[in-house]
Amino acid sequence: MKKMILTLALVVSMVGALMAQADNKAIGLRLGGGFGYGAEVSYQQPLSKVNRLEVDLGLNSWGFGLNGIYQWVWDLSDLADGFNWYAGVGAGIGSYNFNFNNDSHGPSNFSVGALGQVGIEYQFEIPLTLSLDYRPGIFFVPSFNGTYDGICLGARYRF
């Protein structure tokens, strides 16, 4: 177990040298893969030059979801200046009413889950970033058990 932890720490520190700079705050939308496959308001807060926190709030007719993802960002400037890829882990909470019989008093579900994320982004010379990412999740507490995943297109204003 110690060897595995040491190896993981070594790999993470070596990869850190290849990481991009994540030093701009950004706000915008993630479309297509939020809870209920709707839209999410998305905010990114840099935590260091190579890490950031992304917080997303999704609202739709079924309920809401709030996600927080800690991300590592890597430079892909070999493709073209402005490209980065990122990966992260986090958690999500949500409250949903999956009532398809139009009964306004149907069952309501609250859930907590673990999330992952991997994606690619392009930062234009203007303060606009476009991203495409995949976010799988496992929800387990207490009533809405199951898996979730979605591919999203994001558009954010950097400031």
CATH of the domain at 30: 2.40.160.20
What integer pLDDT is reported at residue 15 of this predicted model? 41
Domain presence at residue 129:
yes
Tens of pLDDT, residues 63-97: 888 999 999 999 998 888 999 999 999 999 988 77
Whether the model pTM is above 0.85: no
Which one-letter DSSP state was computed for residue 80? S
Q: Provide the residue range defining the domain that includes 88.
A: 20-158
Domain presence at residue 70:
yes
What integer pLDDT is reported at residue 145 of this predicted model? 66
What integer pLDDT is reported at residue 17 of this predicted model? 39
Q: In 4-158, which ranges are E strands?
A: 26-31, 39-46, 51-60, 63-75, 83-96, 109-123, 128-142, 146-158
What integer pLDDT is reported at residue 105 of this predicted model? 52
What integer pLDDT is reported at residue 13 of this predicted model? 45
Six-digit token pair at 130? 């476009």
